[in-house]
Amino acid sequence: MKEIVILGAGYAGLRALHVLQKSGADIHITLIDRNSYHYESTSLHEVAAGTQKDEKICYDIKDVVDTKKTTFIQGNVEKIDSDKKEVYVDQKTLSYDYLIVALGFQSESFGIPGVKENSLEMVDVKTADQVHRHIIEQMKQYKETKNEEYLRIVVCGAGFTGIELVGALVEGSKAFADIAGVKPEDIQIYCVEAVDKILPMFSDRLGQYCLKYLDKWDVKLLTGKPIKKVEPGAVVYQNSKDNENDLVALNAKTIIWTTGVSGSHVIGDSGFEERRGRVMVKPNLTDPKHDDVYLLGDVSAVMDPSSNRPYPTTAQIALKMGSYAGKDILNQMKGKPSEPFSFKSLGSVASIGNTHAFGVVGKTEVTAYPASFIKKAIMDRSLFETGGIKEVMSKGRFDLYH
Ligand SMILES: Cc1cc2nc3c(=O)[nH]c(=O)nc-3n(C[C@H](O)[C@H](O)[C@H](O)COP(=O)(O)OP(=O)(O)OC[C@H]3O[C@@H](n4cnc5c(N)ncnc54)[C@H](O)[C@@H]3O)c2cc1C
């Protein structure tokens, strides 16, 4: 019997688990995650803004574990020794015949001073919850002090995650205002971005659609302003492109860092050849030096032949990788050759609040209500692909407008 170890019960890990569990092959699987629950990373911004309850985006990992085939261990993966075929989890050592590494992402500070100490990250349910609790506390502080800095929220980075967070914060501002005893328009939402254009992956038309709403909602979008440091209670950015000394401090009691992510630190700590926590994998998603180690999702880099750049890391590709790796392990066990992994994006849709969204589906650009509907359908599909119909039903996710 072959031992397959899966690290991470996110999109890629659980999708691979599903394929392997239903295969009927002579295998035992060990699944490891630091949490007892799976969470949908694609909805973390809603938890941070308080527009979605954390229990709606989580379910028990045990719900999808077939105990006849799989042992689930809740623990923290510290390191992998791929030459010895061992994984170190807390104080334990586990051996494997095949390993699936699907440990996801962490926040990337790009070496900017003060980010770790002075800003909030939003990388899992705990940190998203912390952001929400922090904002509530600042609103209470405003009520006592009347200091406007408590009403000011700065989102650092206007990429996909930053813009989705801004949209959710706008939606959450009524609840924040009620706590502070002010009007929703008194909640000041800033978004600071280094480059001039937001969301470069979308066309100008879609970019304009998004900008129109941010403007309507009075979001203060500062583009072309590279952040130089984060101090306690202030984001310091360069105000003019040609003058490095022209620095402005934007004071705010809530500063949220969403400028980008890298793959899990476990990848670098384990000696894989990596860049920002991602390994450039072989066509069958294995490590170039180890045929028995699959790297999936946000710890993996796969070239897109049409752009000659790695595919962006998304839940969509993570799910596809999980399916592929499960099947490829079964093929390897039968001595069958691997078909190379291939991926065709179905498009991507960004939400700005509960009822506004925009993006591309296939080759068609979508906006407004239809886009928002599609976004929710995509999210339900990913919940279905990891958790099955039971989880979709139990989360009440057929209510598309929560
Ligand atoms: C706010 C936000 C919005 C997004 N929106 C979209 C979207 O609309 N569409 C889209 O396709 N993608 C979206 N993404 C990107 C998407 O969420 C990621 O690409 C995806 O989660 C990667 O999947 P994964 O399986 O690699 O990792 P994850 O799903 O992040 O799972 C990683 C798992 O590993 C576990 N883990 C991590 N480290 C350890 C450790 N040391 N020990 C034990 N367990 C560990 C974690 O607990 C987690 O369960 C969004 C991301 C964010 C943050």
Which pTM was predicted?
0.94
Q: What is the mean pLDDT of residues 369-394?
A: 73
- pLDDT value of residue 398: 45
Query: Could you tell me the distance, in angstroms and rounded to a whole number, from the CA of residue 186 to the centre of ligand 1?
Result: 33
pLDDT of 388 strictly over 60? yes
- Active-site residue among 108, 164, 171, 193? 164
- pLDDT value of residue 353: 81
φ and ψ at residue 370, rounded to 5 degrees: -60, -40
Query: Could you tell me the distance, in angstroms and rounded to a whole number, from the CA of residue 13 to the centre of ligand 1?
Result: 10
Domain edges within the chain:
2-34+75-107+261-343, 115-257
Q: Which residue has the higher pLDDT, 379 or 118?
A: 118
Fold match flag (2-34+75-107+261-343 vs 115-257): yes
How far is Cα 269 from Cα 51, in angstroms, rounded to an integer? 36
Q: Note if 121 is an active site residue.
A: no
How far is Cα 176 from Cα 174, in angstroms, rounded to an integer? 5
pLDDT of 399 strictly over 50? no
pLDDT tens per residue, range 83-100: 999 999 998 999 999 999
Report the share of the chain in percent with pLDDT over 90.
Answer: 79
Nearest CA to ligand 1 atom 27: 104
Of the options 3.30.390.30, 3.30.830.10, 3.50.50.60, 3.30.300.30, the CATH number for the domain spanning 115-257: 3.50.50.60
Report angle CA 339, 341, 344 to the nearest 5 degrees.
130
Mean pLDDT of the chain: 93
- pLDDT value of residue 401: 43
Report the share of the chain in percent with pLDDT over 70.
Answer: 97
Query: Which CATH class name applies to 2-34+75-107+261-343?
Result: alpha beta
Q: Ligand 1 pocket by C-beta < 6 Å: which residues?
A: 8-13, 32-35, 41-42, 44-45, 76-77, 102-105, 161, 164, 264, 266, 297-298, 313-316, 318, 348
* Predicted confidence band of residue 23 (pLDDT cuts 50, 70, 90): very high
Q: What is the mean pLDDT of residues 372-400?
A: 69
pLDDT tens per residue, range 237-290: 999 988 999 999 999 999 999 999 999 999 999 999 999 999 999 999 999 999
pLDDT of 154 strictly over 60? yes
Which of 125, 16, 132, 14 has its CA nearest to residue 62?
14
Residue 100 is inside which H or E element, if any?
strand 98-101
